[in-house]
Amino acid sequence: MGRAAVLSGVGGHVPGRAVSNEELAERLDTSDEWIRSRTGIERRHFAAPGTATSDLAVAAGERALKSSREGTADAVVVATTTPDRPCPATAPAVAARLGLTGAAAYDVGAVCTGFVYALASASGLIATGVAERVLVIGAETYSGILDPLDRSTSVIFGDGAGAVVLRAGEPDEPGAVGPFDLGSDGGGRDLITVRAGGAEQRLSGREPAPADRYFAMEGKEVFWNAVVRMAASSRAVLGRAGLDTGGIDWLVGHQANLRILRSLATELGVPAERNLGNIAEVGNTAAASIPLALADAHAAGTLAAGDRVLLTAFGGGLTWGSALLTWPDLAPS
Ligand code: UT7
């Protein structure tokens, strides 16, 4: 058995301003009843103007480092759809602000699957001896890319960040992460997209339409893709571990929509009370969603050392991914 990545710290952060469904209904043709019944979301948090994704990432990263015995990292991986700048990556600035100048630092872009991809990448850094301790952060400020006139996306997404610390350890100790399953289908790239702002738009030589600067999603098609892909990826990762869903204590799916999460649990045969999440409080925070759900569950004392946790996500790309881990013995946050 080779060495494994072991989870040793977790932390989350949401910006201070909670935005209720009622507040959105004041400016959009929607209602609290529609949003609750169709998505399970009651509120989300929006960053104040002037707050960047890196600000949220630093806050979550600080908490994760504090909760770990390591307290430091020699690599920082940031999963985000909303980087501070197109260039350079957000991770080096986050590392520097955390006092980790000199650490390897890079971003991972897999939209809502970003955290699972980043976790796999960070585990690889540890497995290959490139790093001993890695800080993995999912951080987003979707409020900055949402079309204020699009009710179908404006009611779903929120801002936030979640982070974990991984350290080198043994595959059979509590906190061990893996195996993983990752996949993509670029044929579906138009289903979840921001069309303008990249090389394609520059090549076309024309000014983008205002709506092309915003995040766009074909909700209905994405919905069923999300259930089917997360279920298949979950089964694949369980198969790799020689487990079935009976061997899982908690399912932590990407917090996209409560109806998606319920369909996924039904599809996998996971009881409702084992389906863990916080979508009512934070909405869909894309790459931050899974680590934020883990941080909130840890703060609530829901997860016990040795619990088997299945993480699964689906997002733009299209991308999907799943990971297994056993929960470590962490100090209460
Ligand atoms: O994070 C990456 C992955 N993302 C996801 O997984 C999100 C997946 N998709 C969804 O969560 C859902 O598809 C939505 C929440 C986006 C939409 O819910 P839906 O139940 O699929 O609604 P729909 O698109 O079928 O629309 C039903 C009706 C439509 O009106 P008509 O055509 O029936 O008159 C929409 O225009 O609901 C309308 N509608 C709304 N009404 C009130 C759409 N958004 C809203 C809204 N408030 N916010």
| pLDDT tens-place string over residues 203-259 | 777 888 888 999 999 999 999 999 999 999 999 999 999 999 999 999 999 999 999
For ligand 1, the distance from its centroid to the CA atom of residue 156, given in whole angstroms, is: 9
Please indicate, yes or no, whether residues 39 and 145 belong to a single structural domain of this protein.
yes
How many whole angstroms separate alpha carbon 300 and alpha carbon 290? 15
For the CA of 157, the nearest atom of ligand 1: 1
Look at ligand 1, atom 47, and give the residue with the nearest C-alpha: 30
Look at ligand 1, atom 4, and give the residue with the nearest C-alpha: 256
Please indicate, yes or no, whether residues 150 and 185 belong to a single structural domain of this protein.
no
Please indicate, yes or no, whether residues 163 and 15 belong to a single structural domain of this protein.
yes
The residue among 169, 202, 225 that closes a domain is: 169
For the CA of 153, the nearest atom of ligand 1: 16
Q: Which pLDDT belongs to residue 211?
A: 87
| pLDDT tens-place string over residues 190-202 | 999 999 988 888 7
Could you tell me the residue range of the domain that residue 241 belongs to?
177-276+285-326
For the CA of 222, the nearest atom of ligand 1: 8
Please indicate, yes or no, whether residues 96 and 211 belong to a single structural domain of this protein.
no
> Residue length, the chain?
333
The residue-averaged pLDDT of 117-122 equals 98
The residue among 147, 169, 191 that closes a domain is: 169
Biggest distance spanned by C-alpha atoms of the chain:
58
Neighbouring residues of 105: CB distance < 8 A, sequence distance ≥ 6: 75, 76, 77, 78, 89, 91, 92, 94, 95
How many whole angstroms separate alpha carbon 224 and alpha carbon 259? 10
Annotated catalytic residue, options 21, 112, 257, 275: 112
Pocket of ligand 1 (CB under 6 A): 30, 34, 38-39, 112, 151-152, 155-156, 192, 219-220, 222-223, 226, 256-257, 260, 284, 286, 314-315
Q: Which pLDDT belongs to residue 2?
A: 78
Q: Measure the CA angle with vertex 286, ends 73 and 116; round to 5°.
A: 50
Please indicate, yes or no, whether residues 88 and 198 belong to a single structural domain of this protein.
no
The residue-averaged pLDDT of 109-131 equals 98
> Is 122 domain-assigned?
yes
Q: Which two three-digit tokens encode residue 304?
A: 């016990």
Q: Which pLDDT belongs to residue 92?
A: 98
Look at ligand 1, atom 45, and give the residue with the nearest C-alpha: 152
For ligand 1, the distance from its centroid to the CA atom of residue 213, given in whole angstroms, is: 21
φ and ψ at residue 307, rounded to 5 degrees:
-60, 140
Is the pLDDT confidence value at 1 over 80? no
Q: How confident is the model at residue 332 (pLDDT cuts 50, 70, 90)?
A: confident
Reduced to 3 states (helix: H, G, I; strand: E, B; else coil), residue 104 is strand
Please indicate, yes or no, whether residues 82 and 187 belong to a single structural domain of this protein.
no
> Is 63 domain-assigned?
yes
183 torsion bin: left (phi>0), alpha (psi -120 to 50), beta (else): beta
Please indicate, yes or no, whether residues 123 and 218 belong to a single structural domain of this protein.
no
For ligand 1, the distance from its centroid to the CA atom of residue 279, given in whole angstroms, is: 16
Please indicate, yes or no, whether residues 18 and 147 belong to a single structural domain of this protein.
yes
Task: Using alpha carbons, select from 319, 275, 259 the residue that is nearest to residue 109.
Answer: 319
| pLDDT tens-place string over residues 29-55 | 999 999 999 999 999 999 999 999 999
CATH number of the domain that 316 lies in? 3.40.47.10
Annotated catalytic residue, options 13, 21, 225, 254: 254
Percent of all residues in the chain with a pLDDT value above 70, rounded to a whole number: 100
Is the pLDDT confidence value at 316 over 70? yes
Reduced to 3 states (helix: H, G, I; strand: E, B; else coil), residue 103 is coil
| pLDDT tens-place string over residues 268-284 | 999 999 999 999 999 99
The single-letter code of the amino acid at 71 is G
| Residue that wins the pLDDT comparison between 2 and 309 | 309
Please indicate, yes or no, whether residues 83 and 105 belong to a single structural domain of this protein.
yes
pTM (two decimals): 0.97
Task: Using alpha carbons, select from 277, 279, 9 the residue that is nearest to residue 135.
Answer: 9
For ligand 1, the distance from its centroid to the CA atom of residue 153, given in whole angstroms, is: 8
Please indicate, yes or no, whether residues 117 and 257 belong to a single structural domain of this protein.
no
The residue among 141, 169, 197 that closes a domain is: 169
Q: Considering the chain, what is the average pLDDT of its residues? A: 96
Task: Using alpha carbons, select from 57, 98, 8, 96 the residue that is nearest to residue 287.
Answer: 57
For ligand 1, the distance from its centroid to the CA atom of residue 109, given in whole angstroms, is: 25
Look at ligand 1, atom 8, and give the residue with the nearest C-alpha: 223
For ligand 1, the distance from its centroid to the CA atom of residue 245, given in whole angstroms, is: 30
> Is 144 domain-assigned?
yes
| 87 in catalytic set | no
How many whole angstroms separate alpha carbon 55 and alpha carbon 84? 9
> Is 331 domain-assigned?
no
For ligand 1, the distance from its centroid to the CA atom of residue 78, given in whole angstroms, is: 29
Beta carbons within 10 angstroms of residue 6's beta carbon: 23
> Is 255 domain-assigned?
yes
Please indicate, yes or no, whether residues 110 and 44 belong to a single structural domain of this protein.
yes
Q: Which of 38, 42, 264, 289 most suits a substitution to test ligand 1, by most atoms within 8 Å of the C-beta?
A: 38
Look at ligand 1, atom 22, and give the residue with the nearest C-alpha: 220
For the CA of 223, the nearest atom of ligand 1: 8
For the CA of 220, the nearest atom of ligand 1: 13
| 284 in catalytic set | yes
Query: How many domains in the chain?
Result: 2
